[in-house]
C-alpha cells in the first residue's frame, strides 16, 4: 500500500509517462460506443460490394458467366479486371504478382475473380455465389513438400546468413546430429474482419475508411488501381478491431475494390467479407519446415549450425521476403553459434498468400533455435536450461550474430537467472519428476525459455515516422501521428508522451484518427515499432512548439530561456509560474505558431542484404518465461498449469498497457503452438475457415496461474522514447516455453532419454503421437 | 393467430407486423435500429462479439440468458426482453459495474469483442452471486478475445460485484416489473408473421404445433437455432416456413418419472445439465463443455438430437444410457405419439427416422442402477467450446462385481451417425471388468468403426482415442486415486 502511494506521488510529480493509464477508448469499448468502420453512419447512397471467388486452387479460368449475378435482386453493377481504371496490381513489394482480380490464371482457392455491387450487403453476398466459372484445373501445390517436389519455385529472393566456416567447424565438432522441425502457420483471427468504405469526392478524390495497419500503402495502392496521384486519395483509420499483422498488406484488396466500385458508380461503397471468406482469402502466418544440422560437444556447447528454413508463402510474394529474412535473424534467439549458415527458401504454393503476423517470421526462427538446444540437451543428457545457459551470447568474442551485428545490450543471462529464482524453477522441476513417477496417466512438464527480439524494420527506410501537433488557443492539444491503433495502446502511449512534454493533463490531449491527409508517407504500424517511432516524432513536434514558446516567453517576460520549464500543471518562467493555457493565450496574441510537425528516423541501423551483414536492429528486447503443463498420456490433452514471465520493456511508458501486451501476446503465441491448426483439403480449400473449426485459446486455456512481471530498473541503453522498449511482438515468443514444457512432459514417458521432437502446433493428437513414439523408442 | 411480434427492447415495447422469418437479431439491431454496440465477429455463434441478453419467462419467473444475436432470429424474441450493451449505462451516463470493472482491470484492448464479454459477464451477474473463477470461465467459454489473453477479463468478473453489490443492480430491482410486462405479452395464440422473406409460426401449445407441422410438412423446425442459424448466415438458405418451438412451455419441462428422467424436447442445455448431473458427475462434466454459454442457453436436447449431427455431444451419452425418443404428430384424435429407442432414430449420415409431420416431443433417459458403471468423455482440439473429435459414453452392467452382463458403448465422431460399438460390446460380455476385457474390446473397435480423417483429427487418432477412453474408464472405476484428467470439473474435484 505504501509502495502504491509512493508510486502515485511520483506520477503526480512527473506526469503521465510511466503510469498505468487505462486505454483511452476503454470507457467507449465497454459501452459499445467505440466506432469501428461498420458502425459509422452510412453516407447517403451507400452501396455494398462483395467478392466472387475462385472455386479451384490452380488452373486456367476458361469462362466466367456473370449474367445470373447481374440479374440478382438489388444488384447495381458487377466489376471485373476490365473495370479497373489503373493497374490490376496490388503487390506490396512491386513484383506485379498480385492482381486485384484474376483474369486467366487461378493461383489459389478463394482468389477474387470479380466483385458485385448491390443495394444491400446481403443482396451482394447472395448474388456473388451465382457466378458460373469454368476452369481447366491443374494440380495445386499445397504445402512445402509438394512445392519442393515440384522444383521449389520461390516467390522472392532467398537470404543466406553465414559466419565462420561451417563445413570445417561441423566436421570438427565432437558430435553432430541432423533433424527437421515442422512449424505450423496461424490465422490472425482479428475479431473485426477486413472492411473498407470508399467515398468518392470531386475531381479524382477518393476518401476511404479502412481497417488497416498501413494507411499510406492503402493510399498508394488505391491511387495505382484508380490511375490517379496519391494526393487524390485520403485514407483514415481511427481504430481496428485487432490487426496482429493481418491488416498490414491484406487490407489493400478490400480498399481497392471498394474504391474501384465507388469511382465507377459515383456512390459510396462498403466492402466487408464474411468471416469465412476473410479467412479463405487473406494470408496467415507462414508455416515452416526447418532442416538442421548441429555440431556440438559433450558439454552441450554448439560448435556449428547449418539450417534451411523453407516457408509456405502462398501464391504471391507479399511480405514473404522480409518474413523469411526475420526468421533467419532469429535463428539464434539468445545463443551464440561459433560457425553458422542459415538459408531461407520462400516457396510458391497454391494457397492464400502468407503475410505479416506478430513476430513476422521471428517466432518460427526462434522455435527452431529452442529445438536445437533441446536436441543437444537430450543428446548429451544435460538439462535443457543448462544447455541454454552454456550457449548464451557472452563476452570473449561470443557476441556476434549470424548477421554480423554485435549484441551490445545482452541481459539474457540475468533475466533467466532472475526468473529461475522467482519461480523456484529447480525445486519445482525436481518435484514434478518425483510426482510423475507416481502418476501413470497424467504427466507434468516444465520448461524455461528466453527471448531476444530485434527491434527495427529490417527494411531500414521504414524506420521513420511523422507527427502533427496542434495547440489551440485554449491550451488544448490535438495529436496526430502516422501510427495506427489496433488495441495495442499506441494512441494512449503517445498521448502520454505529449501530455508529459507540455506538462498538461491527458484530458487536454485529443487523440485523432490516423489519416494520410495529416501525416504523409508513413510506415506500417508493425515490427513493434509504433511507440518507438511515433512517440519520438510526436515529442519532436512538441519540442518544436516548446522552443517557440520558450523564445517567446523569454522575450515577453524578460528571462533567460533556460529559466523556463514545463512542469506538471504549470509553466515556470523565471520566478513566476503560470498555467499552460495562459502561456498559449499570450503566445497566440504575439503571433507565435502553435502547430508543428515532428519527425524521427531511427539512428545507427544499416543492413546489406546481399552481403548478409549489418546492424539491422537498433536494440533487442528480452524476456523469459517458465511454463508448467500437465498432459494426459491416453488422449494427448493438456492444460497449462502455471506460467511465470519476466519481460523487458525498458522503462515502460505504461506498465498496464505493456502488461496487457505481454499477457495477450503470450496467449496468442500459446494458441499458435498448441490448438491453432490450419488444415487444407486435397483440393486446396481451407478446411479450418471459421472459429468452429479453427481454435484460438478461450478463457479457460489461459495458464491457471499466470505471474507476469516487467523487468525493473532496466532502461533501454539506447535513447529511445523515455528509454522504453518495444513490446508488441516479443512476448508472443515467450510461449515457446509451453511447447517445451509439453515436450518435457512427453519425455517423461521415456525417462527423459529420448528427444520428443514435438512439432508445432502441438495439438492433443501430436502430443499423443509423441508420447507413443518416445515410449516405443525407449522400449527399444 | 396473432400477427404481431411483440417484445421489449430494454423497457421499450417493440411491435412488428412484417418480418423476415430469419432476420437475425444482430442485423435488426445494427441495420434497422442503428444500435451498433453489438458486433459481428463470425456470424456463426462461435466468437460471442454479438452477445446480447434475453430475458424470458420460465415458469412465471424472469430468466436472463446470454445468447448470440448473430444466429438468433428476431421473431423468436416474441414475449421476451432484449438487452444490449447500449442498455447498461445508468441514466446519468455512469458505467454499469460490469463495464466499470472491465475498464479498471484493463479488460479491453482492441475493444471489438468487449461488448460481448460485457454482456456475458452481465448475464452472469444477474444469475449468480460471487461466481468462482471456474464459473466465470464457463460463462465466457463462448467469447473469443484475441488481444488480452483473458486474464484481465477474468479479473473483471471477480471485481464487478465489489464495485456495486449485485442486489443493488437496477436490472435485478426491475425484475418484477419486467416479468409482469412479459406475462402480459405471453398469450396462448400462435404467432404468425409473413413477409416476402417467408412465413414464421410460433405456436404456444403442442396441439397447435402438431397442426402446423401437419399443414407444413416441409417446414424447418427451429429450436435454439444454434445450427439452423448457420444455414442462413453461412449457407445463405431461405427457410420458408419456419416453425419455432420456443414458446411452448410444456416442451421445456424436465420431470423425474421414477426410474427415468423425462426431458421435453425444448429443455435447454443448462437445465438438461443440472438434471443429468444427478445421474453422474461424468454427465455434468460432458454438458459443461457443450458449446459456449450462449449456445448452452439457446440449444436444446431435442434440437441436438433431431439435428442428427454425427458429432453431437448428447446422443452418445443418451444412447449409452438406453434412452428412448418420443415422436409426436397430429392424429385422428389429437396428438399421436410413438416411442422408439434413440439409437434407432439415427439411420444414416444426416438421415433420421422422423416422418414428415412428426416432431421430437421428449426424450426419456433411464437412471443408472446400482450395478452399473458409467463413463463419458469428450476429446477435442480445444478443451472448451469445441466440437468433439471423439465422444465416448459407456454403460456397463455387472452383477455384484462379477462379469459384465450388458455393455453399451456409444461413440460420436467415429461414424456418420452416433453409433454403438457392437463388436467391442460383445467382447466385453461375460468378462470381468479388467485390463484383459478392455484390451479385447479395443481390439474389436477396429471392426466397429472406420472413422474419417478431417480437420479435427485423423482416423488413426480417432481409433486410438476410442480405445484409450475405455482404458480411462477402467482406471477411473478401478483406481480412483489415479489422476486421469488434466482439466475440467473432474480434474478440479480430484485435486482441488
**Would an 8 Å CB–CB cutoff place A19 in contact with chain B?**
no
A192/B112 Cβ within 8 A: yes
A663/B149 Cβ within 8 A: yes
Fold match between domain A408-457+611-780 and domain A464-601? yes
B110/A192 Cβ within 8 A: yes
Residue B198 lies in a domain: no
* Residue B225 scores a pLDDT above 80: yes
Interface test with B, best of A29, A36, A625, A685 (most B CBs within 10 A): A29
From the list B42, B84, B137, the residue facing A275 with the nearest CB is B42
**A600, A68, A620, A66: which is closest to A333 by C-alpha?**
A620
Q: A681: Cβ–Cβ under 8 A, 6 or more apart, which residues?
A: A687
As a whole number, mean pLDDT of residues B138-151 equals: 98
Quote the minimal CA–CA distance from A556 to chain B in Å: 44
A38/B43 Cβ within 8 A: no
Look up the CATH number of the domain holding residue B153.
3.10.20.30
Interface test with B, best of A191, A643, A667 (most B CBs within 10 A): A191
* Residue A6 scores a pLDDT above 60: no
Query: What is residue A307's DSSP assignment?
Result: E
Catalytic residue among A248, A420, A729, A765: A729
In the sheet that holds A564-567, the strands lie side by side as A564-567, A570-573, A576-578
As a whole number, mean pLDDT of residues A675-693 equals: 97
Q: What is the pLDDT of residue A13?
A: 47
For chain B, the domain total comes to 2
What is the Cα–Cα distance from A491 to A510, expressed in whole angstroms? 10
Query: What are the residue boundaries of the structural domains of chain A, listed by start?
Result: 408-457+611-780, 464-601
**Would an 8 Å CB–CB cutoff place A39 in contact with chain B?**
yes
State which residues form the domain around B458: 369-496
Q: What is the pLDDT of residue B350?
A: 87
* Residue A573 scores a pLDDT above 50: yes
**Would an 8 Å CB–CB cutoff place B234 in contact with chain A?**
yes
What are the pLDDT digits (tens) for A130-160?
Answer: 999 999 999 999 999 999 999 999 999 999 9
From the list A191, A701, A708, the residue facing B41 with the nearest CB is A191
B386/A487 Cβ within 8 A: no
Q: What is the pLDDT of residue A14?
A: 62
Quote the minimal CA–CA distance from A291 to chain B in Å: 25
From the list A129, A691, A700, the residue facing B137 with the nearest CB is A700
As a whole number, mean pLDDT of residues A72-96 equals: 97
Distances (CA, A) of B291 to B40, B227, B268: 18, 11, 12
Q: What is the pLDDT of residue A709?
A: 98
**Would an 8 Å CB–CB cutoff place B299 in contact with chain A?**
no
What are the pLDDT digits (tens) for A691-721?
Answer: 999 999 999 999 999 999 999 999 999 999 9
Q: What is the pLDDT of residue A10?
A: 38
Give contacts of B457 with chain A, Cβ < 8 Å: 765
A442/B234 Cβ within 8 A: no
Q: Do B396 and B429 form a contact (C-beta atoms < 8 A)?
A: no
What residue of B is the nearest CA neighbor of A484? Answer: B110
B86/A691 Cβ within 8 A: no
What is the Cα–Cα distance from B229 to B211, expressed in whole angstroms? 24
How many residues are there in chain A?
780
Q: What is the pLDDT of residue A4?
A: 39
Give contacts of B312 with chain A, Cβ < 8 Å: none
- CA-based angle B148:B151:B155, to the nearest 5? 120
Rounded percentage of chain A residues whose pLDDT exceeds 70: 98
Helix (H) or strand (E) holding B334: strand B334-341
The alpha carbon of A108 is separated from its chain's Cα centroid by a whole number of angstroms, namely 24
Residue B246 lies in a domain: no
Q: What is the pLDDT of residue B492?
A: 81
Quote the minimal CA–CA distance from A280 to chain B in Å: 13
From the list B49, B141, B468, the residue facing A191 with the nearest CB is B49
Fold type of domain A408-457+611-780? Aldehyde Oxidoreductase; domain 4 (3.30.365)
* Residue A5 scores a pLDDT above 90: no
Taking only residues 366 to 395 of chain A, the set having a beta carbon closer than 8 angstroms to any beta carbon of chain B reads none
Residue B354 lies in a domain: no
The chain-wide mean pLDDT, for chain A, equals 96
What residue of A is the nearest CA neighbor of B226? Answer: A692
What are the pLDDT digits (tens) for B23-38?
Answer: 999 999 999 999 999 9
Quote the minimal CA–CA distance from A690 to chain B in Å: 7
Distances (CA, A) of B471 to A392, A444, B314, B455: 45, 20, 21, 25
**What is the CATH code of the structural domain delimited by A464-601?**
3.30.365.10
* Residue A568 scores a pLDDT above 60: yes
Burial class (CB in 10 A: 0-12, 13-18, 19+), A554: middle
What is the Cα–Cα distance from A468 to A485, expressed in whole angstroms? 16
Q: Count the Cβ atoms, other than its own, within 10 Å of residue A558.
A: 9
* Residue A9 scores a pLDDT above 60: no
Asked whether the CA dihedral A256, A258, A264, A266 is positive or negative, the reply is: negative
A242/B146 Cβ within 8 A: yes
From the list B384, B461, B468, the residue facing A698 with the nearest CB is B384
Residue B331 lies in a domain: no
Q: Do B203 and B79 form a contact (C-beta atoms < 8 A)?
A: no
**Would an 8 Å CB–CB cutoff place B285 in contact with chain A?**
no
From the list B103, B153, B461, the residue facing A765 with the nearest CB is B461
Residue B252 lies in a domain: no
- Looking at B129, B160, B186, which one is the last position of a domain? B186
Q: Has A729 been annotated as catalytic?
A: yes
Question: What ipTM was estimated for this complex?
Answer: 0.97
Grid cell 493428437 in the structure block, residue: A765
- Looking at B186, B203, B230, which one is the last position of a domain? B186
Residue B334 lies in a domain: no
**Would an 8 Å CB–CB cutoff place B383 in contact with chain A?**
yes
Q: What is the pLDDT of residue B490?
A: 84
What are the pLDDT digits (tens) for B264-321?
Answer: 999 999 999 999 999 999 999 999 999 999 999 999 999 999 998 888 889 999 999 9
Look up the CATH number of the domain holding residue B395.
3.30.390.50
As a whole number, mean pLDDT of residues B359-365 equals: 98
* Residue A608 scores a pLDDT above 70: yes
Q: What is the dihedral of CA B154, B156, B162, B163, to 10 degrees?
A: -170
- Looking at B166, B186, B206, which one is the last position of a domain? B186
Amino acid at each position: 500500500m505504501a509502495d502504491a502511494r509512493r508510486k502515485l506521488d511520483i506520477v503526480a510529480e512527473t506526469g503521465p509517462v510511466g503510469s498505468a493509464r487505462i486505454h483511452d477508448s476503454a470507457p467507449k469499448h465497454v459501452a459499445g460506443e467505440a466506432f469501428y468502420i461498420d458502425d459509422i453512419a452510412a453516407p447517403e447512397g451507400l452501396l455494398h460490394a462483395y467478392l466472387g471467388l475462385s472455386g479451384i486452387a490452380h488452373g486456367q479460368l476458361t469462362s466466367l458467366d456473370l449474367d445470373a449475378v447481374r440479374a440478382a435482386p438489388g444488384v447495381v453493377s458487377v466489376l471485373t479486371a476490365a473495370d479497373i481504371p489503373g493497374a490490376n496490381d496490388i503487390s506490396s513489394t512491386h513484383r506485379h504478382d498480385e492482381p486485384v482480380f484474376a483474369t486467366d490464371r487461378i493461383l489459389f482457392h478463394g482468389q477474387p475473380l470479380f466483385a458485385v455491387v448491390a443495394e444491400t450487403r446481403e443482396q451482394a453476398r447472395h448474388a456473388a455465389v451465382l457466378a458460373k466459372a469454368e476452369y481447366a484445373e491443374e494440380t495445386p501445390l499445397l504445402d512445402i513438400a509438394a512445392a519442393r517436389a515440384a522444383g521449389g519455385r520461390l516467390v522472392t529472393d532467398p537470404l543466406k546468413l553465414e559466419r565462420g566456416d561451417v563445413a570445417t567447424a561441423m566436421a570438427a565438432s565432437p558430435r553432430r546430429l541432423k533433424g527437421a522441425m515442422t512449424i505450423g502457420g496461424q490465422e490472425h483471427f482479428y475479431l473485426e474482419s477486413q472492411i473498407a468504405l470508399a467515398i468518392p469526392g470531386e475531381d479524382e478524390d477518393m476518401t476511404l475508411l479502412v481497417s488497416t495497419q498501413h494507411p499510406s500503402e492503402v493510399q498508394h495502392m488505391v491511387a495505382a488501381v484508380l490511375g490517379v496521384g496519391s494526393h487524390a486519395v485520403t485514407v483514415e483509420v481511427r481504430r481496428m478491431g485487432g490487426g496482429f499483422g493481418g491488416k498490414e498488406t491484406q487490407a489493400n484488396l478490400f480498399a481497392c475494390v471498394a474504391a474501384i466500385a465507388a469511382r465507377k458508380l459515383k456512390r459510396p461503397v462498403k466492402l466487408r467479407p464474411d468471416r469465412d471468406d476473410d479467412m479463405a482469402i487473406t494470408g496467415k502466418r507462414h508455416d515452416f519446415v526447418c532442416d538442421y544440422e548441429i555440431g556440438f560437444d559433450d558439454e552441450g556447447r554448439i560448435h556449428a549450425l547449418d539450417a534451411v528454413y523453407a516457408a509456405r508463402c502462398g501464391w504471391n510474394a507479399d511480405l514473404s521476403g522480409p518474413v523469411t529474412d526475420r526468421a533467419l535473424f532469429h535463428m539464434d534467439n539468445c545463443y551464440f553459434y561459433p560457425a553458422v549458415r542459415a538459408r531461407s527458401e520462400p516457396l510458391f504454393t497454391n494457397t492464400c498468400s502468407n503475410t505479416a503476423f506478430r513476430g513476422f517470421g521471428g517466432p518460427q526462427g526462434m522455435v527452431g533455435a529452442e529445438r536445437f538446444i533441446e536436441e543437444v540437451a537430450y543428446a548429451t543428457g544435460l538439462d535443457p536450461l543448462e544447455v541454454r545457459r552454456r550457449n548464451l551470447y557472452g563476452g570473449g568474442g561470443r557476441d556476434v550474430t549470424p548477421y554480423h551485428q554485435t549484441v551490445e545490450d545482452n541481459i539474457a543471462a540475468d533475466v533467466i537467472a532472475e526468473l529461475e529464482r522467482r519461480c523456484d524453477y529447480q525445486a519445482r522441476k525436481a518435484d514434478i519428476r518425483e510426482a510423475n513417477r507416481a502418476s501413470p496417466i497424467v504427466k507434468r512438464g516444465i520448461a524455461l525459455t528466453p527471448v531476444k527480439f530485434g527491434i527495427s524494420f529490417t527494411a531500414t527506410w521504414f524506420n521513420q515516422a511523422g507527427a502533427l501537433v496542434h495547440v489551440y488557443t485554449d491550451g488544448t492539444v490535438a495529436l496526430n501521428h502516422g501510427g495506427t491503433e489496433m488495441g495495442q495502446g499506441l494512441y494512449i502511449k503517445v498521448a502520454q508522451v505529449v501530455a508529459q512534454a507540455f506538462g498538461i493533463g491527458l484530458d487536454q490531449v485529443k487523440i485523432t484518427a490516423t489519416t494520410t491527409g495529416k501525416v504523409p508517407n508513413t510506415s506500417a504500424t508493425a515490427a513493434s515499432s509504433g511507440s518507438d517511432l511515433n512517440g519520438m516524432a510526436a515529442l519532436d513536434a512538441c519540442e518544436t512548439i516548446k522552443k517557440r514558446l520558450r523564445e517567446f516567453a523569454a522575450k515577453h517576460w524578460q528571462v533567460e530561456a533556460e529559466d523556463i520549464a514545463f512542469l506538471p500543471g504549470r509553466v515556470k518562467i523565471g520566478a513566476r509560474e503560470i498555467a499552460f493555457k495562459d502561456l498559449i493565450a499570450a503566445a497566440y496574441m504575439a503571433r507565435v505558431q502553435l502547430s508543428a510537425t515532428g519527425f524521427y528516423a531511427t539512428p545507427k541501423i544499416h543492413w546489406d542484404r546481399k552481403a548478409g551483414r549489418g546492424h539491422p536492429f537498433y536494440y533487442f528486447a528480452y524476456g523469459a518465461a517458465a511454463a508448467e503443463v500437465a498432459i494426459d498420456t491416453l488422449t494427448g490433452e493438456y492444460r497449462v498449469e502455471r506460467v511465470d514471465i519476466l519481460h523487458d520493456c525498458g522503462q515502460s511508458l505504461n506498465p498496464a498497457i505493456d502488461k496487457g501486451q505481454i499477457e495477450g501476446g503470450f496467449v496468442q503465441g500459446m494458441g499458435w503452438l498448441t490448438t491453432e491448426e490450419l488444415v487444407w483439403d486435397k483440393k486446396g480449400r481451407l478446411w479450418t475457415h471459421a472459429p468452429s473449426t479453427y481454435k484460438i485459446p478461450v478463457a479457460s486455456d489461459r495458464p491457471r496461474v499466470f505471474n507476469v512481471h516487467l523487468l525493473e530498473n532496466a532502461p533501454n541503453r539506447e535513447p529511445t522514447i523515455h528509454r522504453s522498449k518495444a513490446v508488441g511482438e516479443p512476448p508472443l515468443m515467450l510461449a515457446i516455453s509451453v511447447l517445451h514444457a509439453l515436450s518435457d512432459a512427453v519425455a517423461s514417458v521415456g525417462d527423459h532419454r529420448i528427444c520428443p521432437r514435438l512439432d508445432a502446433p502441438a495439438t492433443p493428437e501430436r502430443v499423443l503421437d509423441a508420447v507413443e513414439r518416445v515410449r516405443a523408442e525407449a522400449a527399444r | 393467430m396473432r400477427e404481431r411480434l411483440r417484445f421489449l427492447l430494454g423497457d421499450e415495447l417493440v411491435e412488428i407486423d412484417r418480418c423476415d422469418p430469419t432476420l437475425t437479431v444482430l442485423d435488426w439491431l445494427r441495420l434497422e435500429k442503428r444500435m451498433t454496440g453489438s458486433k459481428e465477429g463470425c456470424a456463426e455463434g462461435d466468437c460471442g462479439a454479438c452477445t446480447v441478453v434475453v430475458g424470458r419467462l420460465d415458469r412465471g419467473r424472469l430468466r436472463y440468458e446470454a445468447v448470440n444475436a448473430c444466429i438468433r432470429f428476431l421473431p423468436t424474441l416474441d414475449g421476451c426482453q432484449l438487452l444490449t450493451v447500449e442498455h447498461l449505462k445508468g441514466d446519468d451516463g455512469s458505467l454499469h459495474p460490469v463495464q466499470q470493472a472491465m475498464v479498471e482491470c484493463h479488460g479491453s484492448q482492441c475493444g471489438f469483442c468487449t461488448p460481448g464479454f460485457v454482456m456475458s459477464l452481465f448475464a452472469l451477474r444477474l444469475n449468480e452471486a460471487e461466481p468462482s473463477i471456474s464459473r466465470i470461465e464457463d460463462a465466457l467459454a463462448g467469447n473469443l478475445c484475441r488481444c488480452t489473453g483473458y486474464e484481465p477479463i477474468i479479473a473483471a468478473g471477480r471485481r464487478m460485484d465489489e464495485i456495486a453489490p449485485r442486489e443493488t443492480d437496477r436490472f435485478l430491482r426491475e425484475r418484477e416489473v419486467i416479468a409482469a410486462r412479459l406475462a402480459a405479452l405471453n398469450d396462448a395464440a400462435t404467432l404468425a408473421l409473413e413477409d416476402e422473406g417467408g412465413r414464421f409460426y410460433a405456436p404456444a401449445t403442442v396441439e397447435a404445433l402438431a397442426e402446423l407441422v401437419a399443414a407444413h410438412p416441409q417446414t424447418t423446425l427451429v429450436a435454439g437455432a444454434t445450427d439452423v442459424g448457420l444455414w442462413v448466415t453461412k449457407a445463405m438458405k431461405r427457410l420458408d416456413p419456419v416453425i419455432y418451438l420456443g414458446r411452448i412451455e410444456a416442451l421445456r419441462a424436465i420431470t423425474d418419472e421414477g426410474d427415468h428422467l423425462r426431458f421435453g424436447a425444448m429443455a435447454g442445455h443448462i437445465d438438461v445439465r443440472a438434471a443429468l448431473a444427478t445421474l453422474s458427475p461424468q454427465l455434468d462434466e460432458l454438458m459443461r463443455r457443450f458449446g459456449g454459454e450462449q449456445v448452452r442457453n439457446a440449444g436444446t436436447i431435442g434440437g441436438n438430437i433431431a439435428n442428427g449431427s454425427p458429432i453431437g455431444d448428447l446422443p452418445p451419452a443418451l444412447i449409452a444410457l438406453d434412452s428412448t425418443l418420443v415422436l409426436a404428430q397430429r392424429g385422428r384424435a389429437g396428438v399421436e405419439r410413438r416411442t422408439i429407442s434413440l439409437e434407432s432414430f439415427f439411420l444414416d449420415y444426416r438421415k433420421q427416422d422422423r416422418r414428415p409431420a412428426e416432431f421430437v416431443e421428449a426424450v426419456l433417459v433411464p437412471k443408472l442402477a446400482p450395478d452399473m458403471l458409467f463413463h463419458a468423455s469428450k476429446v477435442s482440439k480445444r478443451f472448451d467450446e469445441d466440437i468433439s473429435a471423439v465422444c465416448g459414453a459407456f454403460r456397463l452392467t455387472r452383477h455384484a462385481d462379477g462379469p459384465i452382463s450388458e455393455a453399451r458403448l456409444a461413440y460420436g465422431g467415429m461414424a456418420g451417425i452416433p453409433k454403438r460399438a457392437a463388436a467391442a460390446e460383445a467382447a466385453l460380455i461375460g468378462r470381468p471388468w479388467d485390463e484383459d476385457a478392455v484390451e479385447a474390446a479395443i481390439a474389436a473397435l477396429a471392426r466397429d468403426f472406420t472413422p474419417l480423417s478431417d480437420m479435427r483429427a485423423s482416423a488413426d487418432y480417432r481409433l486410438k482415442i476410442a480405445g484409450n477412453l475405455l482404458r480411462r474408464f477402467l482406471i477411473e472405476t478401478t483406481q480412483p486415486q489415479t489422476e486421469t484428467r488434466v482439466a475440467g470439473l473432474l480434474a478440479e474435484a480430484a485435486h482441488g
